[in-house]
Amino acid sequence: MVKRKKHILVADDDAIYRDIARDTLETAGFEIAIAEDGGQAIARLSSQAFDAAIIDLNMPVASGLDVISALRSGSLNATIPVIVITGHDDASAVEAAYRAGATSFLTKPLNWILFTPHVEFVLRCGDTERELREANATTAFLSDLKSQMMSALALEFQSPIKTIFGFSQLIEKEVYGPLSPPAYKDMMSDISRSAHALNAALLKVMDFGRTLTEHLQIEAEPINARDAVRDALAALSEQAGRRSITIVPNVTIGNECTVQADRALLNQALRALLDNAIRMSPRGGSVMLDASMSADGGLSVMVSDDGPPLPGGLLAEVNGARAHKKAVNHPQPSSDVSIKIAKILTEAHQGRLTLETSPSAGNIVRLAIPRARQEDRDEASAAKSDGPQSLQRISAELAQDLHLKSKLTANLRSAAFAGSREPNIQRSRS
């Protein structure tokens, strides 16, 4: 298979430089198009696809900056790498070209020995960036498709589950007459509990799938920490009651304790901790919850259960590096799902979650949410110049910068809170 030649536009009003550049690059195996001024360059870039452009800053009709701006605002060649050639040995010309969309810089007189390797280097970087964009586009498409499929599956599953749950309750309450033999009533109770558990598991897996694949956008607002804990307790009271689990709270947070957090996602993280503890505790057992204000004024929560130890692999993952958002290729226990959801949501708030477990003491999960989130620094304002720099130094630094950044943006908003109920809890421990 014949490899396609890279197509490069050379725009320079200096005929000598233009011809030498064309001959040098054609000898290296590139296909070259020529523009004698900025107007011709804009016309060619608007009508013909290129793999890269080499543009002189000072040209008649339209300057190199005008050409770059037109290129970046178009659609045909908007993402190709642009090498700027200039005789200006000052930082202001470089910064202006860089802001317009230049990729790399060369100064006249050109070193023709290094000219071709520099062009090849920039082209390789351009290929890498293009592949990264395509991969990101594919990932975004698949993520959106996954979300749509999960939403459709949720509707498909919830309808029959609600039907099973509703009819089982009618039969259990003997609305149309007594059940005979009485054992059928116990069977219907089991069916009702199973339907409820299946629905809860489905919603949990959906939450986990979203947190693994989507960027969490935190809509921070001042949240009363005491109210956040009470809301989570109320939301899990029914689940605890079905398993005869007693939640014993020790909430020492005052009303003055507030944290900058996303209300829905913080509630989801706290509910995930309680959900895990309730599931791990034996029927008729107890779950302890301690909530206090941390030294920095944030929220500190400890949830413990008297169930069997959590898997060692989960312990190492939770207490190790940040939770990796990777695809899950094997079935995971419900406890794993709850803990991982809580970890991801906690870290999204710049908090920390740790896990302790032992055969004798059960499992202890500690969650810490800071009082205020440290806002991301503006990359543009952070990249300030450290004073006058030569054009050669800037060009060298740009040539060594192989880091290509990409960000996937998506929003994760949790479902509406569970209905408020009086929690199945005892009074605070002394």
| Cβ atoms < 10 Å from Cβ of 9 | 24
What the block records as the tokens of 195 is 């339907």
pLDDT of residue 408: 28
Whole-number pLDDT of residue 339: 82
Q: Return the pLDDT at 205.
A: 62
Token representation of residue 273: 């901790």
Tokens of 162: 């609600």
Q: Which CATH number fits domain 216-375+418-430: 3.30.565.10, 3.40.50.11540, 3.20.20.70, 3.40.50.2300?
A: 3.30.565.10
Q: For residue 126, give the 3-state DSSP assignment.
A: helix
Q: How many CB atoms lie within 10 A of CB 422?
A: 9
CA–CA dist 203, 210 (Å, integer): 11
Q: How far apart are CA 111 and CA 18, in angstroms?
A: 14
Distance CA 106, CA 392 (A): 8
- Which of 224, 210, 228, 355 lies closest to 280 in space, CA to CA? 355
For 15, the enclosing helix (H) or strand (E) is helix 15-27
User: Percent of the chain scored above 70 by pLDDT?
Assistant: 75
Question: What value does the mean pLDDT take over residues 30-47?
Answer: 93
Rounded to an integer, the average pLDDT of 71-88 is 86
> pLDDT of 328-372, one tens digit each?
443 344 456 778 888 888 888 889 999 888 777 789 999 999 998
Please name the residue ranges forming H helices in 173-262. 183-213, 225-242
The SS3 assignment for 262 reads coil
For the cut 50, the answer to whether the pLDDT of residue 396 exceeds it is no
The answer to whether the CB of 346 falls within 8 A of the CB of 300 is: no
**Is the pLDDT assigned to residue 225 strictly greater than 60?**
yes
pLDDT > 90? residue 304: yes
> Which token pair is 89?
């040995």
Beta strand 31-35 pairing with 7-11: parallel
Residue 420's pLDDT is 36
Q: Pull the structure tokens for residue 426.
A: 């005892």
Instruction: Residues 7-110: name the CATH superfamily.
Output: Response regulator (3.40.50.2300)
Span 124-128, average pLDDT: 89
Helices (H) and strands (E) in the chain, counts: 12, 12
The answer to whether the CB of 385 falls within 8 A of the CB of 95 is yes
For residues 299-321, average pLDDT: 81
Token pair 């360059």 is found at 41
pLDDT at 154 (0 to 100): 65
- Bridge partners for 272 per DSSP: none
At 329, the amino acid letter reads: N
How far does Cα 420 stand from its chain's mean position? 30
Average pLDDT, stretch 198-209?
Answer: 66
Q: What is the pLDDT of residue 216?
A: 61
Q: Stretch 271-286: mean pLDDT, rounded?
A: 90
152, containing H or E segment: helix 112-172
* Domain locations in the chain as residue ranges: 7-110, 137-213, 216-375+418-430
Q: What's the pLDDT band for 90 if we cut at 50, 70, 90?
A: low
| DSSP conformation letters of 279-297 | HHSPTT-EEEEEEEE-TTS
Cross-strand pairs, 247: 287, 425
Cβ–Cβ under 8 Å, residues 240 and 247:
yes
Q: How far apart are the first and last CA of the chain?
A: 80
Could you give the dihedral angle defined by the CA atoms of residues 236, 369, 346 and 292, in that order, rounded to the nearest 10 degrees? Answer: -30
HEC sequence for 294-350? CCCCCEEEEEEECCCCCCHHHHHHHHCCCCCCCCCCCCCCHHHHHHHHHHHHHHHCC
Cβ neighbours of residue 187 closer than 8 Å, sequence gap 6 or more: none
Q: Considering only 1-5, 76-80, 289-293, 295-299, which range has the smallest mean pLDDT?
A: 1-5
Averaged pLDDT, 60-87: 89
Q: How far apart are CA 313 and CA 18, in angstroms?
A: 63
Whole-number pLDDT of residue 24: 93
Average pLDDT over residues 90-102: 82
How far is 220 from 214, CA to CA, in rounded Å? 18
Per CATH, 7-110 and 216-375+418-430 having the same topology is answered: no
Number of residues written out for the chain: 430
**Per-residue pLDDT tens over the stretch 230-264:** 999 998 988 898 889 999 999 999 888 999 998 88
